[in-house]
């Protein structure tokens, strides 16, 4: 069973990939800071933002 944090990381990563969104656009969409988007996607999911 996935935790909330894992689910959020996947949701944010999917949004970035599917929409070609920037970190800034993603942060605005999810109501979080750019730092949070970067941390969630790189550290919590193992994904890398180019």
Cα 21–Cα 46–Cα 13 angle in degrees, nearest 5: 25
Cβ-based neighbours of 19, under 8 Å, separated by 6 or more: 25
Asked whether the beta carbons of 23 and 34 are under 8 A apart, the reply is yes
Residues of the chain with confidence (pLDDT) below 50: none
| Per-residue confidence (pLDDT) for residue 17, from 0 to 100 | 93
Whole-model pTM?
Answer: 0.76
Asked whether the beta carbons of 47 and 41 are under 8 A apart, the reply is yes
């Amino acid at each position: 069973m996935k935790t909330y944090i894992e689910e959020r990381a996947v949701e944010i990563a999917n949004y970035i990939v599917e929409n070609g969104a920037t970190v800034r656009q993603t942060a605005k969409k999810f109501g979080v800071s750019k730092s949070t988007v970067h941390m969630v996607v790189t550290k919590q999911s193992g994904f890398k933002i180019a």
